[in-house]
Structures are given as structure tokens and as C-alpha cells.
Structure 1
Amino acid sequence: MTKRYDRRAFVLAYLAAQPEYSQGFTDDPSEYNDALGTYRKRLLKGLESLFAIELTWDGIADRTDGSALFMLFTSAARNHLAVKASGFLEGGLLIKVLGRAGQDVPVLTSMSRSLELRDKLWESYVDTMDLVLGILLGERRTRCSPRTTFAGSEWTTRNHGSRERSSAVAVQLTRCRRWHGAPGR
């Protein structure tokens, strides 16, 4: 199985690796949450290696205008993470109460519009981060193709010849053809 990672996937991996990102986690502390958090951080590290850029202050500081651009990138990330979902997992009782009050349609229409606007806002922050990342990457704006192979409960991440082992998801990362052999910057 081959999965393609472009800049947008890199941005989404950055967001998913942040402590404030809660999508997919359960409410109670568990091994699942720990494994999911570890997987997301490792995916981000693998993509940072593939794109030859570390999305940290230290990793960006020596690039032309890196500090200013990273400030914009992290601001968009914080804003994206601050936009919350509705909070309703099951609204059966709420819908009944609104129906009895004769306000179910207007309230649900308004809530639907709010959810659409939230989704557009999320997308706009991701778009901003994607564009800023493109500036930071410069010449290396192409997508990367890691090869994914499963091997029991272990996986091996190959990244520019180095190896790591973990008990998470199986991924074998390889360089992009376009900048194969390109310097680390």
C-alpha cells in the first residue's frame, strides 16, 4: 500500500501531534490514547525528515524569514486548535425539548450553519499553514511517498538509512524522487 503525503498532510500531522488536539482520543486516560499520541508524534517526525524541515523554533530559525513565518504558522495552528466542535454527541433529548417548544427547525438550522462555518474556519487555518509551509520549504514543495508494510505487531521506519522500531503502525518511509540526494535544507 502506498500513501502519498503532500504539504497538507504534513500540516494535518503537525496539528494532530499537538497536545491540544483531541480528535480520536477517548475521554479516559488509557493505553490507546498513549499509543495514538505516540503514533501521531512519530508520523510528524517521519514527515519532518522526509520534507527535510523540523517544525520547531530551532528547526526554522536559520531559514530566511523563518522566525516570522513560523510565528504565522504556529498562530494559525493555535487558532485552528482553539475552534471547538459543538460538544453534543447525542442530542435526542435536546431535539425533543426543542420540538415541544416548536423551535427545533430554526435552532437546528442555526446550529448546522455554525458547524459549516466552523468547518470553513478550520479549513482556512489549514490553508494558511499549507501556504506558509510551502514558503518555508522553498524548492522542496513536492509530495512524498512512504511505502507502508506491516510486520506483525512491530514496524520499522526507514528514514535516510536509519532505523527505529516501535509497536505502533507499520511505515517504511522513503525520500521523494525529486529531491533524492538533496542537501538537508
Structure 2
Amino acid sequence: MSDRGRPRSFDRTAALRQAMELFWAKGYEGTSIADLTAAMGIGSPSLYAAFGSKEALFLEATEYYTQAEGTEIWAALDKAPTACKAVENFLRQTARAYSQSDRPQGCLIALGALHEDSSSGAICDDLRRRRAENRTALLRRLERAVAEGELPAGFDSGTAATFYATVQHGMSIQARDGASRAALLATVAGAMAAWQGLAGTT
């Protein structure tokens, strides 16, 4: 008799979270199917039946990560009263999120796969797109500040967005290498010291 239509004997969301944390800690290429089935508590047939493939599982796991982890980082951009405070809060929330002790350090989107991979590039393409979307979120907040007259008309929003996105990526690597929250916050302080130069203020 076919198993089609039978309810799965595991919690799919819980299994997906386990996969996400494993990919987060070890990256796409560093994570094997055996690693995944052990962490998720399922056999490989169940993994393939539920998620299709390792590649599809990673893509779903990164979407889950985007929805479940670090949401306070991006919320900080809209909640702050000024662009300067928005960027500072964005980086400070990054420092907190990347240095939590109960989960892998750093960022899955930044560290999940940095080279062309065995998925014919689909994994790298997806992460590259997500990183670009993150930069765009910064860019839009800065452009809004220019439009509202908070920042001067000549403010280079694109350069500033790239700079602060790059700082965030560097913090991810620092965190993965064991940097403390205090060390990450020191990086934030240094990055914000550059704000006056970027904004043309004294």
C-alpha cells in the first residue's frame, strides 16, 4: 500500500529548525545528509519525502531563518527616529543576535555558502539575493532620510548602505571566530564614528 496521504510521524517545523541550526553552524557543503537525519531525528527517506532534496531543504531553512531569526535587527531600521540612530540600532541588534550563546554565532545568510556549490549555484544565488535585499533595506532607510531632509541632498546613500552592510558581514565573521558581544559592540562604535564623515556633518 502506498504511504501517500499518511501523516508524517515527525514535527516538520521542529525538524526544519534543527536543519537550519545545522546549516547555520556548518554551512551547506559542510553538512551531510547523515548529519541532517541525525539532527532532525528522521531517516533519509522521510527527509526526501518531506523536503525533496538537501538543496531544497537548505533553501527552506534559509527562508525559515529569515522569518524566525534576527527580526529585531531589521525592525530597528524603521523604529528609530533618525537615520543615524536607525543604523546604530541595526548594528547593535546585530551584535546581540550574532553573539547569543544558545545558537550558532554569526549569520546563516552571510556564512552559509560563500563559494559555488554542488547545487549548481542555486544556494549561492539565493544567499546572494538575500544579502542584496538586506543592503536594499538599509538603502531605503537612508534614502527616506534624504527625502525627508534629515540628511543632505548630496548624501551618498548607496555607498553608506554598502559600508554598513559590509560592517555587518564582518561582524558575522568576527562572531563565528569567537568575538564577544563587547568586541562586536566596539566594532559598532567604530562604524558609527564614520557616520559624520559619510553624512558630511561635524
TM-score, normalised with respect to structure 2: 0.25
Q: Which has the higher contact order (CA 8 A, sep 6+)?
A: 1
TM-score, normalised with respect to structure 1: 0.27
